[in-house]
Amino acid sequence: MISAVKPQPLPPEQRIVITGIGLTAPNGNCLTDFREALLAGVSGVSEYEIRYFGKTLAGICEFDGRRHQTRKDARRGTRAGSIGAYCANESVVDSGVDWENVDKDRVGIYIGVTEHGNVETENEIYEISNFDYDTKFWSHHHNPRTVANNPAGEIAINMGITGPHYTIGAACAAGNAGLIQGAQQLRLGECDLAIAGGVSESIHTFGIFAGFASQGALASHDDPQRASRPFDVNRNGIVVAEGGCLYLLERLSDAQARQAKIYGELVGYAMNTDATDFVLPNPERQSQCIRIALERAGLVADQIDIVSTHATGTASGDTLECAAIRDVFGESENTLINNAKSFIGHSMGAAGSLELAGNLPAFEDGVCHATINIDELDPECALDGLVQNQPREIGRPADYILNNSFGMLGINSVCIIKRFTG
Amino acid sequence: MAPEEIRSAVIEILEDIAPDEDLSNLDDAQAFRDQLELDSMDFLDIVMELRKRYRVQVPEEDYNHLNSMGSTVEYLTPKMVDVAV
């Protein structure tokens, strides 16, 4: 049994708050637009085609890459690097921090990724296939593009950040894992500002689509916008999406000293491992992970206003997560449950941080966005509090949001964000 | 290819690897690095693109010939004399 520690009450220099958000999602390129799309039921899934695999569906981002990156750097780097550079810059701008005078030695970059390097390796193999697989035609850019720290390193180069930078490989729990890593490094005093979250370029590798298809886990639907349908009885798999969401994190003492806008405070988190299967989740460990996060936050389940689920639209994954949620929140009367993948698909390494971000405005507007595309609810997913198809008013600003993010090889992560009240 | 055609071919390569640069006033007598933001990886790109597009091999000991547009065209002219436009 992992022992839980209860960090509160913490001194201000150990309390970690979100002061900036930069994101790109298939249905919005800033928090305002993303939130509006989630409340309006706007899907970001569209038709997509990728070499070898052919026609499929995906969540595609259309952010203004030129806003923060030259065309040359975009060409030299990776899609994950470009998404990262966009989100990191946007989070800093959003935070209002005096970036010019920030000591860049004291900024850390912690980027969650599901995978990295598949896109670039596939591209090079395709390229040399035009030259009879002669490796003399293999690009010198391949290694810097595929080193595991690439997306974080591209952000560092782009922004002149000289503190620590690395990625956190954590399958589809990576968005939460990046956020957690950033908070931990701030608490350790390793940096004064942390750019943390997750990114994904996975729609540009045919292998992800082919792999899910071979697994029987790739969604299909005549209407792309109806394809991602967690909890629906006719769900048939995952819609792969690209995206990114990076937070600017600070110690509360620093944020208050500069009178920063505070989106919320990370009051609890947990990561644990199923240790049972490569692919199939283990609800016992998922519920354990949720409970550890609650205990660390000093909360009981019913205090959580919104649970942002991980559910991806697979038959077993959704059912098992629902079992875990039912185990923890079965007696909760005030907890609402939603899912952002029903709008944008599964943004892999970005999913945890992106899906959390879509819920944070509930601290102000008191609305829980829906899970769309539930035409017929799977009885096994019939959770009390599941917000179906239309957003629901909480009746007051939300106080606590709990964000699930799970991944292959049984990696589980949970973050709890509290509305900042001082 | 004639020297002027080789120059156009190199310009096309530069347009791809340095898309933010204005190449319209490139001085053939001056070093690329004095006029453009090119680093060692960019020069490797030039070498790679010559290999891919025209099957021209530039051995490492000859990289200094790619210093300016003038020296590049002069170096490539005998190598690309049989390359079709």
Interchain proximity B19–A75, CB inside 8 Å: yes
pLDDT-based confidence at A119, cuts 50/70/90?
very high
pLDDT at site B74: 98
Mean pLDDT, residues A385-401? 98
Chain A CB contacts of B19 below 8 Å:
71-72, 75
Residue type, A73: D
Task: Choose the closest CB to B51 out of A75, A137, A141.
Answer: A137
- CB distance B58 to B50 below 8 Å: yes
Please tell me the distance from the alpha carbon of residue B58 to that of residue A86, in angstroms, as a whole number: 37
Give the closest-approach CA distance of A76 to chain B in angstroms. 8
Which residue of B50, B52, B55 to mutate against A (max A Cβ within 10 Å)?
A: B52
Give backbone dihedrals phi and psi of A246, rounded to 5 degrees, phi first: -120, 135
User: Is beta strand A107-113 parallel, antiparallel or unpaired with respect to A411-418?
Assistant: unpaired
Domains (range + CATH), chain A: 13-257 (3.40.47.10), 268-418 (3.40.47.10)
Average per-residue pLDDT for chain A: 97
Q: Which of A169, A161, A172, A154 is nearest to A77 (CA)?
A: A154
Instruction: Tell me phi and psi for residue A212, to 5 degrees.
Output: -65, -35
Question: Cβ A140–B20 below 8 Å, yes or no?
Answer: no
Domains of chain B with CATH codes: 3-79 (1.10.1200.10)
Query: Which pLDDT band, with edges at 50, 70 and 90, does A9 fall under?
Result: confident
CA distance A278 to A260: 43
**Which candidate in A71, A72, A126 is best for mutational testing of the B interface (most B CBs within 10 A)?**
A72
Q: Provide, as residue numbers in chain A, all residues whose Cβ is less than 8 Å from the Cβ of B51.
A: 136-137
Question: Beta strand pairing status for A392-393 and A16-24?
Answer: unpaired
Would the CB atoms of B19 and A71 count as touching at under 8 Å? yes
In this structure, the dihedral spanned by the alpha carbons of residues A311, A312, A317 and A318, taken in order and rounded to 10 degrees, is 50
Residue closest to A405 by CA, chosen among A174, A69, A132, A251: A174
Query: Which residue on chain A is closest to B52 by alpha carbon?
Result: A137
Q: B33 touching A, CB under 8 A?
A: no
Q: How many angstroms away from the CA of B16 is the closest CA of chain A?
A: 8
Specify the pLDDT at position B85.
Answer: 82
- Residues in contact with B31: Cβ distance below 8 Å, sequence separation at least 6, in sequence order: B67, B68
Say yes or no: B48 contacts chain A, CB-CB below 8 A: yes
Write the pLDDT tens digit of every residue in A266-291.
999 999 999 999 999 999 999 999 99
CA nearest to A206, candidates A109, A278, A119: A119
Q: How far is A141 from chain B (nearest CA, A)?
A: 8
**Low-confidence stretches of chain B (pLDDT beneath 50):** none
B19 touches chain A (CB under 8 A): yes
DSSP codes of every residue in A244-298 = EEEEEEEEHHHHHHTT----EEEEEEEEEE--S-SSS--HHHHHHHHHHHHHHHT
pLDDT in the model for residue A300: 97
Give the pair of three-digit tokens for residue A246: 């990076």
Decide if B48 and A75 are in contact by the 8 Å CB cutoff. no
Q: Which chain B residues have a beta carbon less than 8 Å from that of A128?
A: none
Radius of gyration of chain B (CA): 12
Find out whether the peptide bond into A361 is cis, omega within 30 degrees of 0.
Answer: no
Contact status, residue A260 vs residue A96, Cβ threshold 8 Å: yes
> What is the dihedral angle through the alpha carbons of A349, A355, A358, A359, rounded to the nearest 10 degrees?
-140
Q: What is the 3-state secondary structure (H, E, C) of A37-57?
A: HHHHCCCCEEEEEECCCEEEE
Tell me what the mean pLDDT of segment A322-338 comes to.
97
**A139 chain-B contacts, CB cut-off 8 A:** 48
Residue A111's DSSP bridge partners are A167, A197
With 0-12 / 13-18 / 19 or more C-beta atoms within 10 angstroms meaning exposed / middle / buried, residue A101 is exposed
User: Is the CB of A72 less than 8 angstroms away from the CB of B20?
Assistant: yes
Q: What pLDDT does A1 receive?
A: 37
Distance from CA of B44 to the nearest CA of A (A): 7
How close A72 gets to chain B, by Cα (Å)?
6
CA-wise closest residue to A323 among A378, A370, A372: A378
Identify the residue among B14, B38, B44, B48 best suited for mutation to test binding to A, counting A beta carbons within 10 A and taking the highest: B48
Residues A121-134 have pLDDT tens digits of 999 999 999 999 99
Comparing alpha-carbon positions, the chain B residue that sits nearest to A69 is B20
Query: What are the C-alpha distances in Å from A108 to residues A167, A200, A214?
Result: 11, 19, 39
Joined tokens for residue A234? 């006719």
Q: Quick check: A2 pLDDT over 50?
A: no
**Which of B19, B20, B48 is nearest residue A139 as measured by Cβ atoms?**
B48
Across A202-213, average pLDDT: 98
- A82 has a pLDDT exceeding 90: yes
Q: How far is Cα A340 from Cα A38, in angstroms, rounded to an integer?
A: 8
Question: Has residue A90 got a pLDDT over 90?
Answer: yes
Tell me the pLDDT tens digit for each residue of A231-252. Answer: 999 999 999 999 999 999 999 9
Interface size A-B, in CB pairs within 8 Å, comes to 24
DSSP sequence for A92-150: HHHHT--GGGS-GGGEEEEEEES--SHHHHHHHHHHHHTTTT-GGGS-TTHHHHHSTTH
Chain A residues whose beta carbon lies within 8 Å of the beta carbon of residue B37: 72
pTM > 0.90: yes or no: yes
